[in-house]
Amino acid sequence: MNGSGNDNGERETAVHAPDGNHCPHCALHAARVPPLQIPTLRQIVAEEGVQALWQGVKPRVMFHVPAAAVCWGTYESVKTLLRGEGADR
């Protein structure tokens, strides 16, 4: 190991959080996202139709809605409890 890389000789990139501290989870933020691929979108629409661009949205929404409901319900309940508004009921 050469101190700045791994055993394969690849150079590791130091990723830091906005406050300057090392952040292993911020590696996702450092990755470059390619620009929108208009030709690819046009090809999908031509071959499969516009509805293909929305494929998978319904299952994702159905997956996240219950979690969001629990999150907001818990938030509102704790907020009410901490404000002391629940004692009047």
- Domains of the chain, by residue range, sit at 1-33, 35-88
| Cα–Cα distance for residue pair 2/8, rounded to 1 Å | 10
Confidence (pLDDT) at 74: 96
pTM of the model: 0.40
Residues 9-60 pLDDT 10s: 444 444 445 555 555 555 555 556 466 778 888 899 999 999 998 999 999 9
3-state secondary structure the chain: CCCCECCCCCECCCCECCCCCECHHHHHHHCCCCCCCHHHHHHHHHHHCHHHHHCCHHHHHHHHHHHHHHHHHHHHHHHHHHHCHHHHC
Which residues on neighbouring strands pair with residue 5, listed in sequence order? Answer: 11
